[in-house]
Amino acid sequence: MKKMLLSLAAVLSLVILAPLAQAADYTIKIAFIGPESHGQYLELNQYFKPELEKRSNGRVVVEIYPNAQLGSDRQAIEGVSIGTLEMAAIGGSSLLPLDDRITFMDLPFLFNSSEVAYQAYDEFLTAELNKILEPHDITIVSSAELGFRHITNNRGPITKPEDLGGMKLRTMENPIHVKAFRLLGANPTPVSFSELYTALQQGTVDAQENPINVIATAKLYEVQKYMSLTGHIYSPAMVIISTSYLNDLPADIRTALLECAREYQARVQKVLVAQNNDLLAQIKTATEVNDLTAEQKKVFRDLIQPVYDDYVKAHGDALVKRIQAMQP
């Protein structure tokens, strides 16, 4: 009887201690404002999370919070900066308020293809951004893509700047965006994104501009007759981490995290390209879509030159010239 009790005690102790022995040393929370259907979330959940947990031998647990459960991009950035949140997957433009030098990201027609953008961020732009972000204790570990921004409206196809004349166009409350569209003759009108569908439906604004995946997932095409593939601004997607947290991780886990982030970046770029092709086909079922030639885009680019002049006056032309030299 005594032996049975001792054996039972031994078994119970193993059952009780097993979860403790398997408990992770590090829990990494990742904030994301988008839905679970977005390519970024899919790759974070299906690749980054299991890969990092596997390579850390269970010492790391990754928790991903989509649908803005942990707040807006701006709130997530603040959390990473002050150390109350480990990581966040954000739109790159959300970093602009931290430092005016970051505004190069939103210069219109800076990139003429995703491939050039990928190369530029890989070769030097991400490193440049990380230097700027040092005082904020933020490190970018992945620079993927949200996509090029395009215009939808209810008036007609946009093929030349005159087509935007007087058009009430909802855009981000971003000084560069607002100035660029004014130079093109439009009337930039601030509207909360949560109210945009209704504003378009009721004619409060005539038009809006966003990447394909946003236009499709928010079903904005349902209340817009025309979509013009202007590709006027390239929007990057960043994964950021608290620099202090990253540096405090054991060397092997830190290396694994950085490797997984780079692999995630390559995967999400492919996923988003495929998603965008499918979503554009979906948009075309309800909306007339027209593409712009390189010559047509140049007319728009020439008119917004003052936006470039402002940036160069404030920060120099080194980055802009380096990017322009990469264009085919």
Q: Give the chain's domains with CATH numbers.
A: 25-326 (3.40.190.170)
C-alpha separations of 97 from 70, 271, 320 in Å: 19, 29, 20
Report residue 3's pLDDT band, with 50, 70 and 90 as the boundaries: very low
- Which runs of consecutive H residues, i.e. helices, occur in the chain? 2-22, 39-43, 49-55, 73-82, 114-120, 126-133, 175-183, 196-202, 212-217, 243-248, 251-284, 294-303, 305-315, 318-326
Phi and psi, residue 28, nearest 5°: -110, 115
Contacts of 151 (CB under 8 A, 6+ apart): 158, 164, 169, 207, 208, 209, 227, 228, 230, 232
- The crossing angle, in degrees rounded to 10, of helices 305-315 and 318-326 is 130
Q: What is the pLDDT of residue 22?
A: 54
User: Could you read off the pLDDT of 186-214 as tens digits, one per residue?
Assistant: 999 988 888 999 999 999 999 999 999 88
Residue 289: beta bridge partners? 227
Share of the chain above pLDDT 70, in %: 93
Please write the tens of the pLDDT for every residue from 220-277: 999 999 999 999 999 999 999 999 999 999 999 999 999 999 999 999 988 888 889 9
Q: What is the dihedral of CA 226, 227, 228, 231, to 10 degrees?
A: 160
288 three-class SS: strand
DSSP string, 78-111: HHHHHTS-SEEEEEGGGGGGG-GGGGGGG-TTS-
Q: What is the pLDDT of residue 8?
A: 46
Beta bridge partners of 228: 151, 290
pTM across the whole model: 0.86
